[in-house]
Chains A and B, each alone.
Chain A
């Protein structure tokens, strides 16, 4: 079971804190972590990859981030990608799906009234597409399966 390779990836800040709430779950598998602030390596055991930070409004930054994420996926070859967003997670799900990983999008709890922009865009590429608020769940997705709280 624990030779399933997971890539746990998100932007820094709240997305990352939410991702790490699943540490116990990640601990059962062979998990690599990636985020957009190199100092976050101190918060996890095992491999950590640092990425450039970029918001959804920074086009050149997004391009660099996308290339870094593509390279990371080709190197790590994860069976499963799990992300809580935002831009870094978006690229991981899109590119991961293309490269053959199973992909899991968990929308941030900060989005209590509608799915995030990245969350909406990522739908087609996510094998599992989740909101953390039951009110936002729909039969056609996203589903609600719990919160990281």
Chain B
């Protein structure tokens, strides 16, 4: 199953449309989407506008692949679950976000092993083929998370102990 998510804040019709086009050519693949207040409604896959956290986590956990806007929440969750994720950056020029920070996000995360950056139908098809032919690496907490937690512990110790 493929789980699509546009994130909590804004619709993302451009991405939903590309995935819908892909689905119309791959009807044997089950896709479930969380699409927010979209004006483009998918014809070839099931969707909800909003999903409560428990249902969102259940679908996310069950999915073989996640397709998402380039939001940090879904990217980090993918790294956490060791799940392949395909990300589309929202672009300011199309009114998809308030600025182009998602373009920087794909530049920062596009080189990670389970993360695929796409914007077109061709790129999406290629990413799905690539993912299906690969082993997925295990999830981790990085050294940099440990550093941050230790720093915060130190601060609290200095303040209160």
Residues of chain B with a CB closer than 8 A to A97's CB? none
Q: A21 to B76, Cβ gap below 8 A?
A: yes
What is the CB-to-nearest-CB distance from A126 to chain B, in angstroms, rounded to a whole number?
A: 12
Interface flags, A1-29, vs B, CB<8A=1, else 0: 10010000000111111100110110011
Stretch at the interface among A66-74, A88-96, A102-110: A102-110
Contact with A along B85-112 (1 / 0, CB 8 A): 0000000000000000110110110000
Q: Closest Cβ of chain B: how far from A13's Cβ, in Å?
A: 4
Q: How far is the CB of B124 from chain A (nearest CB, A)?
A: 22
Name 18 A/B residue pairs within 8 A (Cβ), A-sorted: A13-B8, A14-B71, A14-B72, A21-B76, A21-B80, A22-B148, A22-B149, A25-B153, A37-B8, A39-B52, A80-B159, A110-B101, A112-B101, A113-B101, A127-B155, A145-B151, A149-B79, A149-B145
Alpha-carbon gap, A29 to B160, bound state (A): 12
Contact status B145-A17, CB under 8 Å: no
Chain A minimum-CB-distance residue to B151: A145
Contact-residue size bin, chain B (C-beta under 8 Å from the other chain) = 35 or more
Given contacts A43-B57, A55-B9, A112-B105, contact A147 B71 (CB under 8 A): no
Q: Which residues of chain A from 27 to 73 have a CB within 8 Å of any chain B CB?
A: 28-29, 37, 39-43, 55
The answer to whether A147 touches B160, judged by C-beta atoms less than 8 angstroms apart, is no
In the complex formed, the residue of B with least CB distance to A40 is B53
Q: CB of B114 within 8 A of chain A?
A: no
**Cβ B104 vs Cβ A113 within 8 A:** yes
CA distance A116 to B107 in the complex (A): 18
Q: Is B76 in contact with A149, judged by CB distance below 8 angstroms?
A: yes
When distances are taken between beta carbons in the complex, the residues of chain B under 8 Å from A146 are 144-149, 151
Cα distance A39–B53 in the bound complex, in angstroms: 5
> Residue B39 at the A interface, CB < 8 A?
no
Instruction: Confirm or deny: A76 has a beta carbon within 8 angstroms of a beta carbon on chain B.
Output: no
> How far apart sit A146 and B150, CA to CA, in the bound complex (Å)?
9
Give 16 A-B pairs besides A13-B9, A102-B155 with Cβ atoms closer than 8 angstroms. A13-B73, A14-B7, A15-B73, A18-B72, A21-B76, A21-B145, A22-B149, A42-B54, A104-B152, A109-B105, A112-B105, A112-B107, A113-B104, A146-B146, A149-B142, A149-B145
Interchain CB contact under 8 A, A102 and B73? no
Within the complex, the shortest CB–CB distance from B4 to chain A, in Å, comes to 16
Q: A4-B156, A13-B7, A37-B53 are in contact. Are A110 and B72 (CB under 8 A)?
A: yes
Smallest Cβ-Cβ distance to A13: which chain B residue: B8
**With A and B bound together, what is the CA distance between A4 and B149 in angstroms?**
15
Q: How far is the CA of A139 from the CA of B37 in the complex (A)?
A: 42
Contacting B105 at CB < 8 Å: which of A37, A110, A130? A110
Closest B residue to A25 by beta carbon equals B149
For the complex, is B77 an interface residue (Cβ under 8 Å from A)? yes
Flag whether B161 is at the interface (Cβ < 8 A): yes
